[in-house]
Structure 1
């Protein structure tokens, strides 16, 4: 609904003049005092324009980044099936909008998984307002990322420049381009407010290393690019912290290093197949009760899988009623893991068939164990 604006009240003098002019039209003469007042009114002319001078460096950079990158930013409309209750005809109707960006000239478009979650289809609108039906190539809900593909001429598919997130610093200037509230091709600016934040994905998995920014991000910005001052992709805007649902200066973006690792695998395989050790992990309560170090305490080791072949042992109840000491995985290739979520994050960096070195604690001693990863999810 368009906002309503009350009409301005006309000054009494203007109303009187209107009546007098109407009287003239009817052939009535103006009183001499009124005619004299009108002749004495000053002539009103438009004000001369004051030259503004050149744009400053910041403004020129804002404009340049928008001109270069906005053609790579797209609007995504999610669709759902709807059956007409009278004709029983089935059609696809819009259910929501979000943002995405062009990954390559093959037509791959990156967005958030939650933008297309539960949709039966999607339409992608390019910056020139041409629209294409999209197909889902692959998704990784644990990182709230999805890849779509459209059939469009290569000349309409400028790939977004990709930067790095590992060397970001708090205070760097950033830009967000997206479609807040359906207002396409909107640009906002801010800074990197914090690094290494944690947010929860739609699967309730923790997404770590997230970028926090105060650039205005609102519903509809989801899936759009967060850019550095050089116009390079440094993150995918995915969430805001706001009790009201509007921008409150706290937005979050998935770091581009994670995006650049996941997207090629989604394009190639359609999904992320996490390599497996073949284990089940104990609970945090178990670890605290047994006074174990931080890590992943093994509750079960599947026969024939990598962990069992490497000689790892689970904690188990002894025949006499006590606990038989098992293993706690504390690091993968030297990267510490404090819980099962950490372990999954580290394993996602590898593929089945890769060999990794696990740091394994048992009964106060730590050893290094080489394990060849298998395909699977457990």
Structure 2
């Protein structure tokens, strides 16, 4: 009897093991392998503006495999090498200082957006060679194939750029995920080319969401993903992916005192990046609508600095049009000025939505396109009135904190 029971237990255990191996060998239940993005400039930009694939995060049965995710992602992550010249201070005859020109080389990473070779990367990866006719940019795929490229467009504010591989076809694009469903504590896989080591995979977690990270004197990246997956110089423009190999972010910066990873890296959410990429592919630049006002929440305004005859809304809500630092609160020639907004107005609503915080108006403006009307409810002289502004393209010089 004991022998029979032993044989029976062995049979059941073996059958379960075989079933598990067969399940793992079958791969993903939905059978998806590529991004499904159509080739072509206009078609790709349309695909990038559609809803992200994947939807809500799907529960995984069994233990997920980092190796499987990395294998899915690796063919879509490329190495970018740039070579150009730069001006540096030097010392001339008799100790006189003069500018010297020298060659330089740089590197970064990128992800394939389409089978015909559109690549998304960081703007700072290609920025050093912009407008240099003799500059060289070369992209190397994970299988060793090399391509020359043309720059489609770049955007300083988002630190994103798109390049196009010349003569590329039948490539394996990345599968783009949905960064809005990412949670703190989710697995995070970084794939890129740090310090010249191509196709490097590192593993960590999503450490935080919606971080504010200043990357230029007057420009900051908003709502970026923080991760402790090791990111180093050369990872810029590469992929931050989930456990299924879906890209959830574009690695762009690290916080460090040493120049290398300290476990604090930042990635631009892919839902933001795909919208920027679509505009770069379609227009060669990002068309950002703007209103042209500087404002502060009325609840935070210094009441002692307000004009004595100014009548404010009884509930104390809205955005007060005032710079507070002697700057012009309504930009001359802006949509705000053209529709009649003046200093000390209180913006109460935009498109019928209450403006309860300083982010509310920025979000509403960002949801519009250039040329669209923006309906504003304005408090002035003790009463509300309706005004309509036609949003225009934000000028390059417009870097004020509000719009």
> Match for residue 32 of structure 2?
none
Q: Which of 46, 58, 70 is the matching residue for 1:66?
A: 70
- Tell me the number of residue pairs that the alignment of Structure 1 and Structure 2 aligns: 303
> Match for residue 294 of structure 2?
281
Give, in whole Å, the separation in 1 of the partners of 2:62 and 2:263. 21
* Shift, 1:140, TM fit: 0.8
Segment of structure 1 superposing worse, 115-124 or 286-295:
286-295
CA-atom RMSD in angstroms: 3.4
Q: Which of 341, 352, 366 is the matching residue for 2:370?
A: 352
* Shift, 1:92, TM fit: 10
Distance 1:329 1:74, change over 3 A: farther
Structure with bigger gyration radius: 1
* Shift, 1:248, TM fit: 1.1
- Tell me the secondary structure at the aligned position of residue 142 of structure 1: coil
Segment of structure 1 superposing worse, 361-370 or 70-79:
361-370
Distance 1:327 1:109, change over 3 A: same
Q: 2:322 aligned with 1:308, yes or no?
A: no
Distance 1:332 1:216, change over 3 A: farther
Distance 1:127 1:196, change over 3 A: same
Q: Report if the CA contact (8 A) 1:98-1:221 is conserved.
A: yes
> Match for residue 128 of structure 2?
118
> Match for residue 239 of structure 1?
253
1:306-338 CA-partner distances (Å, limit 9, x unpaired): 323433222xxxxxxxxxxx2244665548586
Q: Report if the CA contact (8 A) 1:177-1:186 is conserved.
A: yes
> Match for residue 55 of structure 2?
none
Give, in whole Å, the separation in 1 of the partners of 2:394 and 2:273. 22
1:339-365 CA-partner distances (Å, limit 9, x unpaired): 6x9866653442212223345455787
1:6-41 CA-partner distances (Å, limit 9, x unpaired): xxxxxxxxxxxxxxxxxxxxxxxxxxxxxxxxxxxx
Q: 2:279 aligned with 1:265, yes or no?
A: yes
Q: Report if the CA contact (8 A) 2:188-2:242 is conserved.
A: yes
Distance 1:178 1:148, change over 3 A: same
TM-score, normalising length: structure 1: 0.70
- Tell me the secondary structure at the aligned position of residue 356 of structure 1: strand
Alignment of 1:98-113 (within 5 A): 98-113=108-123
* Shift, 1:141, TM fit: 0.6
Q: 2:162 aligned with 1:133, yes or no?
A: no
Q: 2:301 aligned with 1:297, yes or no?
A: no
Give, in whole Å, the separation in 2 of the partners of 1:196 and 1:150. 32
Q: Report if the CA contact (8 A) 1:180-1:221 is conserved.
A: yes
- Tell me the secondary structure at the aligned position of residue 118 of structure 1: helix
Give, in whole Å, the separation in 1 of the partners of 2:244 and 2:354. 31
Distance 1:138 1:204, change over 3 A: same
Give, in whole Å, the separation in 1 of the partners of 2:215 and 2:386. 32
* Shift, 1:270, TM fit: 0.6
Give, in whole Å, the separation in 2 of the partners of 1:81 and 1:328. 50
Distance 1:303 1:63, change over 3 A: closer
- Tell me the secondary structure at the aligned position of residue 146 of structure 1: strand
Give, in whole Å, the separation in 1 of the partners of 2:262 and 2:177. 26
Q: Report if the CA contact (8 A) 2:294-2:330 is conserved.
A: no
Q: Report if the CA contact (8 A) 1:296-1:337 is conserved.
A: no
> Match for residue 220 of structure 1?
234
- Tell me the secondary structure at the aligned position of residue 259 of structure 1: helix
* Shift, 1:130, TM fit: 1.5
Segment of structure 1 superposing worse, 364-373 or 231-240:
364-373
* Shift, 1:258, TM fit: 0.7
* Shift, 1:62, TM fit: 1.1
Q: Report if the CA contact (8 A) 1:287-1:293 is conserved.
A: no
Alignment of 1:172-251 (within 5 A): 172-202=186-216, 204-251=218-265
* Shift, 1:274, TM fit: 1.9
Distance 1:81 1:303, change over 3 A: closer
TM-score, normalising length: structure 2: 0.66
Q: Report if the CA contact (8 A) 2:86-2:104 is conserved.
A: no
- Tell me the secondary structure at the aligned position of residue 167 of structure 2: coil
Distance 1:327 1:124, change over 3 A: same
Q: Report if the CA contact (8 A) 1:125-1:131 is conserved.
A: yes
Give, in whole Å, the separation in 2 of the partners of 1:146 and 1:69. 20
Q: Report if the CA contact (8 A) 1:236-1:255 is conserved.
A: yes
1:225-244 CA-partner distances (Å, limit 9, x unpaired): 11011211111111111111
> Match for residue 78 of structure 1?
82
* Shift, 1:151, TM fit: 1.3
Give, in whole Å, the separation in 1 of the partners of 2:382 and 2:195. 56
